[in-house]
Amino acid sequence: MNTNDPITLETPIKRGDQTITAITLRKPASGELRGVALADLLRMDVDALATVMPRISSPTLTKADVHAMDPADLLQLGTRVSGFLLTKDQLQAHSPDA
């Protein structure tokens, strides 16, 4: 899977008349990681993810969206975020094809 591919949510997020069924995350710049320990992101700490995901998601998630999210969706998105912190060699070493 390409890291730019949208992630389809198991449980869509409803916001008024809007229903979000997929989220695209982009690799954060260092400044978008301010206020968060990288180790917390690697451990997929919910509060750390709720801080960073609104900065890198499209459509933009809110902290409340992240905290109300289906745990399966949070795991999918959190895995993508933590993967952004790894080097290409580290990703290759952990890929199922390695």
Gap between the Cα atoms of 65 and 92, Å rounded: 31
From first to last of the 98 residues of the chain, give the pLDDT tens digit: 567 899 999 999 998 999 999 999 999 999 999 999 999 999 999 999 999 999 999 999 999 999 999 999 999 999 999 999 988 887 778 766 65
Q: Identify the burial level of 55 via C-beta atoms within 10 angstroms of its C-beta, where 0-12 means exposed, 13-18 middle and 19 or more buried.
A: middle
With beta carbons less than 8 A apart as the criterion, state whether 53 and 25 touch.
yes
Count CB neighbours of 54 within 10 A: 16
- Residue in the block written with tokens 């390409």: 2
Name the maximum alpha-carbon separation found in the chain. Answer: 44
